[in-house]
Every structure is written in structure tokens, then in C-alpha cells.
Structure 1
């Protein structure tokens, strides 16, 4: 992911339970001789500029070089992709090549026999990838997915808005962040953009607060015990409620999506808010979603999630994950070869040059030129711990409940004490 990513970085993945999907009739692609006519059904979520045309061009180039191979691409918005993939996997018919974040979701797919074990297939070239990037896709010592991107979640902010509000330095503590929100509101600036409808962006706040208050150990213990009803998790909700009570979000945020024309990314890209908590892809989506298609340019800055006074977690522990691909159980023989092409040094350099991807191939990291991507890379390089997104690290039902519960907290429908009981109930049912 990062130009100077430390291989000593710890990847604090929480454990994932193992409830397998019930399988319906088997579907799938055509397998067998790689010289036979084959169609690779490829689903991904790079459904906007700049990566949408890049993936399309790579697929077209591969088709031209391989007679009889057709790559059928289905780009989908994040939530639509998750819904469609769930339907396909429950029917036992996953696409041939599809977006994966690894973790607990991938483990369920592995347990259900829906994805290929790629360990032997990728052995000749997987050594070119940053070891850290493979962690979410490695289950019981076997590789079931290949990452093309690795990054982290942090605060993206509008430097001009901060200056207008008299904020001279990025917040390094939760108290300073709340103070910045108060100052921004006083200056007539919307402090924070949030996609309330999508739910997953809000879970970033709660997860980070758990990390800062309880440390990575709290998340690991909760996964082991299937118990989130502990003081650290309650305190995280209470601290998040401190922010929510300041009413920092844009008008209509509860109905806002992340990537829609009037959503979270567009609000930031059009200068309509001072901050958003989002992953490494934020600048490119802000730009593509903005009216100008350029975003706010050099006005954009980045800072890590702040520390919480008295918390057990270090501010150098980061939260996020990567983007990768898994291969469906009935994928045609050429699918893994196509995946290898997507992970070649040249392909990764091309992807990195867009500013939307932080490459996982070590030789391609020098292609990172965007100043914001470099800031993320530098933060990751000094990270002392790493936690995968909770809605991917945990089994799907638990991850969905985390998103639903945090959304209920933001909407004022549930308290910090109530949401941990709801998440625990689902965890214990798995």
C-alpha cells in the first residue's frame, strides 16, 4: 500500500466466526482447458472515475491478447454490490472474479466452499506483494484472495475552512476535535459530512473510538467472547454521542449516501463541509462526485483519528483495510491468470497514477505521487497496530448489526448501552 510501509506493522485482525451459507443449486462459469472459449464474470465497486475506465481498459487489453476469453464486467456501487453478492453466494453461484475485503466475510465464503484456494496458483508471484496486504485474505495459512490496494481511514479536511474558523492545527485529541466542531459551527461552516443512509461510514467513528478507549485488545476479546457489552464499548458510543449531540453533520445527512451527487463525498468535494472520516479513496471520490470533477485540490489535508484522553489505545493504531479480489469456485481457468495481470507491476503503477489506489505490489509504490496518498502512506508506515473494518472482520451478520446499531445511535433511536446489547445478541447467535 504505502511507499514506505513498515513490514513490522501489526495487523490486529479480530477473529471471525464461521457460519456457512446454505447452498442452493451450483452455478458458475466455464472451467477447464485455458484454450477453450471462456467468459470471466467480473464484479467490482470501482464504478466511477478514475478507476472505472482503467479496469475496463485492462480487461480489453487482456481480451485482445487472449483469443477466446471474454471479460464481462459488472461495476456496482458499494452497497448494491454487497446486496447482489449476498444473493449470489446464498444461491451458491458467486461471480468468477469479485471484490473482497477479506476477513470474516471471506471466511464464511471459504467455509461454504464458494471461493477457490489460490495458494498454489499465486505462489510464483505473490511474493511481489507487501506481506501486510495479504493478511485479511489469508485464512488458516491459505490464500483465498489477492489485494490490489491497502489503506486506512482518517480525517480529510478543508484547510480553508479550518483557517476561517481559527483552527491552527489538526486535532490530536477527541476533545480538540469537538472543540474544532464548535469553532466551525460558530464560523457558519458545516463541520462534518456523513452518509447516514449508507451506515458503514458512521461505524468508522465508533470502531475508532473503541480502539482509542480500549485498544485493539478490546476488539479481539469481544470477538473471542462474543460479548460487546463491556465498559469500553459503551464508552465509545457515549463519546461518539458527544459529537452527534453537537449536530455537526450536513442538512439531510440521515438520507445521504456516500457517492451520490448530493452525498458525503460530493459535500466535501464541493466545499460544503470541513471534514469527513473516510478511507484512502476519499480524495478521488470527492473529485469525481464534485460539480467541478476536481474536488477542492490542494485545499484538502489529512490527519489521523485523534487520541482519547485516558484511553488504553495508541493514536498510532490505525483502522482500515484494502481492496482485493476473490475467485469464485467455478471460475474459468483464465481467471487467475487475468488476476495476475491486474497485479502486475505495470498495472499497479497505472492504478496508482490515478490517485485512487495505493498499490500492494512493492515495485509499484514509487508510482504514488498524490500528496494525500503519501500522507496516508506515511501514517501507515509508523502504525503500531491495524484493525480491519468491523463490518468485514466480523461474520456478516455481526458486521451488519454493528452498522445498523451505530446508525441507530446517530439517529437518536438507541443509546450507547442499548447498541452493545443488540450487537452481542447477534454475535452469540452465530
Structure 2
């Protein structure tokens, strides 16, 4: 495709994109698109997962604003629900041709696409990455190179009911695992269900083992295990032993093994209706609690996953995930122009929608919701980041983590059997 720099120079001068566009031309080449429109405009295929609010309304608004400022670009949008998106992207990946701009959560799937040579390396053209919070980029970096741009980031922590804590005589959230187990005991003694858990869906349970592995073995050990496929080290076994300590206290609501997450009577409803004191969940927790139940209002609090005495991890090392966009190998230079516009020029709109957390440095100061501000401030202070294990690893390995941890919680596997099963899946991946 011929360069369109002259026709858009005024817009680029205003937005600071001229040098960026020239750099991406060199990196991607001048002919990476599926083809221009008949009128000579650049056509971008954009796949996203904005099928619910606020994205369902906001994403088309952002796209329309970009094309209004850039009449040389046409954006063809495909919006799909998460699972439908994953299935369609898998099929497209197999064909060797990805959309120009596509949703990614980073981790194992993105790494496979990168290794197949299907994704653009943005490292040398992303000269505005210094404006983004370091933790927001972690999931999209491999071997020191950056392959996607984040537009949302979040973390998992404990959402808790302050009123139920007070009933049990707990005056402050626990900071250590020993203190956490003690708090569970106090809640049970006060007749309060300590923890809500969606045992049927498995993924919420893996949060416990993952965080304990971070706190006991440490982030370097997790990264080493991912590289070697060996999760049998003593730190991972001890993580399972600590989780078994918790499960043996029977802290979860009655029927948790058959409970869903956002379903009636499930984890979020149990928490939102004040029938459990805690849930370990991401930044979306409060909104789902309110949708599924009554919501806790001012009684809701948040605290990070505790440290483990003698463990290698720190409380400022967080576990979570976010949303980003990657570019296919050879995407037209206008694709990165669009990402810059989406992330930098529309950060305030993304935050105001209530559905996303900031990735731009300093933007957290604009958050007025106290729950979202708690999470955002924790992310700003973060000294390390681990992506959800069922996203960080190849799909088969992530599924084995979920399955094996669920079996541990249910008493069907030992801590050592969990590590052996995950290792077997990793060696086979």
C-alpha cells in the first residue's frame, strides 16, 4: 500500500504521531494490510470483545472519532463475546493470517502467535511506552520485546465485608497467611461463613494456589517453572500445603463445589448478599456482587493477598490481568496510530465509563470510586506482576492448573500430585 503520510500530516502534527508512523512503516513495510478500500483509503480490521457495556457503546464512539480525524482510514470492526472471540481467533491463527488489530490478554496464547511469526514486534516503534505504567505492559513482553499495547489492567485481592469482620472481632485485615487463617477461625467461631467460592467454575480457585506460589516460591521461580515445564519444586508443593491448610478449615459456603461465579446463589451473590465475609477476586468483583446480589456499599473493603512467613514473595507483587491490543505482522502503520489514539487520547473516557482501570501514568488520580482507586493504587505501587496462570501458560497447561487446584480444594489430590499433574501438562505442551 502506498504511503498516505502527506494526506494526514496535519492530524499527525497535532497528535505527535508523525515520527511514530514513519518508524512503523519501516518496521512493518508498506504493504501489510489486507488491502485498501476502492477509494484508496487504508482499511483496518479490528477485532475486540466489546459486546457488553461500557465497551459496546464506547468502542464504536472511539473508532468513529478516530476516522473522523483521519478520513484516510476505514475501520472494519468485529465484536465478539470472549469465548466466541477465542474460537474465531484460534481458527484465524491456524490460517496464518490475523486481523490488523486484535484483542489479546497476553501470556501463552500471544506467545504462541509471536513464535509463529504472526504478531508485530512493537518495541522499537512504541516510543510512548514510557507514558504507560510498567505493570500494565508485563503480560505482553517476551524476551525483552513488546508485542501489544494495554488499555486496561487489574489485580486480584480479597474483597471483604467490614461489618462481618467487626462481628468476629477482627479489627484489621490480615497481613500474613498465619493471620489470615486465624481470621478464618474467628469468623467461623462467630457463625460467619469466611469465604465465598465458585468451585464449579474452577478458575476462581486457582487464584489461591497461584498467589501462594508467588508468596512462597517467588516470581522468579514461577518464571523458571514456566520456562522449564517443571513445577515440582518445594516452593510449589508448599503452596499446595498452605492451600490444603485453608481447605481443611472448611471456610467456604455450603455447596461451594457446585456453585458458579455470577449465577444466582453463586460466589458473587453470596458475597454481595452479605452471606460470606470474603472473596478472592479481581477488580470487577464489586460490580458483579451488586449485579448478582444486593451489594455491600460502604461495608465493602479490599486488602492484598497476605505474605507467607519465610516465603520469597512480597505483598507488592500482584497477580492479575488486563486487556490489550496486538497488531498482526505487517499491519499498516495506521494501526499503531489507532492504538495510540485509543489508549492515550481516550484514557479519561475509558476511566469515566467505570469499566476499565488506568494504564497511563498518573491517570489513577482521576478515579472517584473508592474501590477502583484502592486497586489502582495497589497497581501503581506494584513491584512485580504475574498474569493469571490460565492465561500465562499454554491453554492445556492453564486448564490443568485450574483442574488440579480444584481437585486439591475438594480433597481429591495432594499438593504433590497437583505439581506433578501441572508438570506433566507443561512437558507435553
Q: TM-score range by the shorter chain?
A: 0.7 to 0.9
CA contact (8 A) 2:364 2:376 kept: no
**Structure 1: tracts of 5 or more residues without a match:** 1-27
What is the distance in 1 between the residues matched to 2:173 and 2:418? Answer: 30
**Structure 2: tracts of 5 or more residues without a match:** 1-31
CA contact (8 A) 2:208 2:243 kept: yes
Secondary structure in 1 aligned to 2:336?
A: helix
> Counterpart of 2:315?
315
> Counterpart of 2:351?
352
2:90 to 76, 86, 90: 86
What is the distance in 1 between the residues matched to 2:45 and 2:122? Answer: 16
CA 1:363–1:171: 2 relative to 1, 3 Å: closer
> Counterpart of 2:389?
390
> Counterpart of 1:338?
338
2:57 pairs with 1:58: no
> Counterpart of 1:13?
none
CA contact (8 A) 1:349 1:365 kept: no
Secondary structure in 1 aligned to 2:185?
A: helix
Secondary structure in 2 aligned to 1:58?
A: helix
What is the distance in 1 between the residues matched to 2:176 and 2:193? Answer: 20
What is the distance in 1 between the residues matched to 2:140 and 2:258? Answer: 33
1:180 to 168, 180, 183: 183
2:141 pairs with 1:138: yes
Residue by residue over 1:238-296, the C-alpha shift from the partner in whole angstroms, topping out at 9 and shown as x without a partner, is 21122223332234433444344554334333334221112223233333x2355xx32
CA contact (8 A) 2:138 2:385 kept: no
CA 1:290–1:172: 2 relative to 1, 3 Å: same
Shift of 1:416: 1.2
Residue by residue over 1:359-380, the C-alpha shift from the partner in whole angstroms, topping out at 9 and shown as x without a partner, is 1122533322222232223333
Please, which moves more after superposition, 325-334 or 263-272?
A: 325-334
CA 1:70–1:255: 2 relative to 1, 3 Å: farther
CA contact (8 A) 1:31 1:330 kept: no
What is the distance in 1 between the residues matched to 2:99 and 2:266? Answer: 29
CA 1:265–1:62: 2 relative to 1, 3 Å: farther
Residue by residue over 1:308-349, the C-alpha shift from the partner in whole angstroms, topping out at 9 and shown as x without a partner, is 23323333332223321123447676543332222124x111
CA contact (8 A) 1:203 1:406 kept: yes
What is the distance in 2 between the residues matched to 1:98 and 1:255? Answer: 35
> Counterpart of 1:270?
273
Higher radius of gyration, 1 or 2 = 2
RMSD in angstroms over aligned alpha carbons?
3.0
Shift of 1:62: 4.0
> Counterpart of 2:6?
none
Kindly indicate whether structure 1 or structure 2 has the higher relative contact order, using CA contacts under 8 Å at least 6 residues apart.
1
Taking structure 1 as the reference length, the TM-score comes to 0.81
> Counterpart of 1:115?
119
What is the distance in 2 between the residues matched to 1:270 and 1:332? Answer: 50
Shift of 1:146: 0.2
Please, which moves more after superposition, 100-109 or 420-429?
A: 100-109
Shift of 1:156: 0.9
What is the distance in 2 between the residues matched to 1:282 and 1:31? Answer: 42
Secondary structure in 2 aligned to 1:114?
A: coil
Shift of 1:50: 4.1
Taking structure 2 as the reference length, the TM-score comes to 0.81
Secondary structure in 1 aligned to 2:63?
A: helix
Residue by residue over 1:220-254, the C-alpha shift from the partner in whole angstroms, topping out at 9 and shown as x without a partner, is 33234321112221111121122223332234433
CA contact (8 A) 1:128 1:363 kept: no
CA contact (8 A) 1:32 1:332 kept: no
1:284 to 272, 276, 287: 287
**Pairing 1:86-105 to 2, within 5 Å after superposition:** 86-105=90-109
What is the distance in 1 between the residues matched to 2:119 and 2:302? Answer: 37
CA contact (8 A) 2:270 2:293 kept: no
Secondary structure in 1 aligned to 2:407?
A: helix
> Counterpart of 2:79?
74
